[in-house]
Amino acid sequence: MSVLVLAEVDGKTLKPSTYQAITAATYWGLAIDVLVYGKDLDAALAEASTISGVRQVLHAQADHLQHPLVEDVSDLVMTIASDYNVILTAHSVFGKSLLPGIAARLDTASITDVIAIEAPSHYVRPSYAGNILAHIDNHEDVQIVSVRSTAFRAAERNGNAQIVEISVPPSRAVSRWISEQLSHSERPELNSARVVIAGGRSLGEQFDSLLNPLAEKLDAAIGATRACVDAGFAANELQVGQTGTIIAPELYIAVGISGAMQHIAGIKDSKVIVAINHDPDAPIFKYADYGLVADLFSALPELNAALQ
Ligand SMILES: Cc1cc2nc3c(=O)[nH]c(=O)nc-3n(C[C@H](O)[C@H](O)[C@H](O)COP(=O)(O)OP(=O)(O)OC[C@H]3O[C@@H](n4cnc5c(N)ncnc54)[C@H](O)[C@@H]3O)c2cc1C
């Protein structure tokens, strides 16, 4: 009886979401093994072996896993799946792509985007853009689960797990990795930032020039609405919301954002929400702890000056 957590490696180290997935895995009270796959994994393995609550770190190394592809990782997981009662991963882009195929091959269901595990195999997950919380009892023999990272705290590091090498099946070569384009930023990452300042389409071409100085002063990540991204004022990866990144910062500042439910779905776990909008009836004010009814083109420079 044990739980398998599928880790994700970011360059050399584990992604923070792996720590949060391990916290979720502790709810069963079973032994936890972590599968770390890729190439040149020394740093990630050393890290994983010190995470509290982990029994074993399964080390799957192969050239073709340098840039892991869903089919190859799915094949790898299938070689050990029968040893586990629960297979769990973060609800990341990769986790989302991976789990349905594994569930299908095990002829079972996957429960995705879980925000709470209230008892072993009893899950809470949002639906309808977070307006409904579904409680699910899953009676399958194997539980295939992805968890929303912001809903779980990160596991601590005072463990000493054994590292065990496992064999890796050959690549299926049905798809291949070509290249990766990453945008580099000095700003904190959107999904783990303590402060996020986000803008809507009303910022227009001044999106960067108005938000950057404030983000700098507040050490904040920058976010955007989908309307703003669609209009080309902000990069795609800045989108916050139901179909963008889901965040839970300590402080969220919404500038010129109407407060559509698809946007709120991504921010409602923020600890403090501040809204600046010139329309006193904008829906965002229903969710805001602090609201400023003002024109953003004067309010932002004033705020910037006040923070000098
Ligand atoms: C399936 C689906 C998924 C979606 N997913 C997402 C998602 O992940 N994230 C997301 O954000 N949206 C998402 N949307 C879009 C969402 O429904 C809204 O259209 C979008 O959030 C609106 O963005 P906005 O607030 O920038 O624009 P608008 O709705 O146009 O609002 C602009 C706001 O700016 C205010 N404003 C204008 N000028 C000023 C000024 N000078 N000073 C101060 N305030 C000003 C206005 O009063 C208004 O409230 C999704 C929609 C669908 C259908």
pLDDT tens, position by position, 82-124 = 999 999 999 999 999 999 999 999 999 999 999 999 988 899 9
Q: What's the gap in Å between 118 CA and the centre of ligand 1? A: 34
Distance between CA atoms of residues 227 and 239, nearest Å: 9
Give the position, in ligand 1's atom list, of the atom nearest the Cα of 257: 25
Instruction: Flag whether pLDDT at 241 surpasses 80.
Output: yes
Q: What's the gap in Å between 263 CA and the centre of ligand 1? A: 7
Question: What number is the average pLDDT over the span 302-308?
Answer: 93
How does residue 78 score in pLDDT terms, banded at 50, 70 and 90? very high
Distance between CA atoms of residues 144 and 151, nearest Å: 18
Ligand 1: which residues within 6 Å by Cβ? 200-202, 225-228, 239-244, 256-258, 260, 262-263, 266, 277-279, 282, 295-297
Question: Per residue, what are the HEC states of 56-117?
Answer: EEEEEECHHHCCCCHHHHHHHHHHHHHHCCEEEEECCHHHHHHHHHHHHHCCCCEEEEECEE
What local confidence, expressed as pLDDT, does residue 185 receive? 77
- Contact yes or no for 5/32 (Cβ under 8 A): yes
Instruction: Flag whether pLDDT at 184 surpasses 80.
Output: no
What local confidence, expressed as pLDDT, does residue 24 receive? 97
What local confidence, expressed as pLDDT, does residue 154 receive? 94
DSSP string, 278-289: S-TT-THHHH-S
Give the position, in ligand 1's atom list, of the atom nearest the Cα of 228: 26
- Contact yes or no for 47/13 (Cβ under 8 A): yes
Tell me: the pLDDT tens digits for 185-223? 788 889 889 999 999 999 999 999 999 999 999 999 999
What local confidence, expressed as pLDDT, does residue 137 receive? 96
Question: What number is the average pLDDT over the span 43-68?
Answer: 97
Tell me: the pLDDT tens digits for 22-47? 999 999 999 999 999 999 999 999 99
Tell me: the pLDDT tens digits for 119-173? 888 999 998 877 889 999 999 999 999 999 889 999 999 999 999 999 999 999 8
What local confidence, expressed as pLDDT, does residue 68 receive? 95
The DSSP symbol for 298 reads H
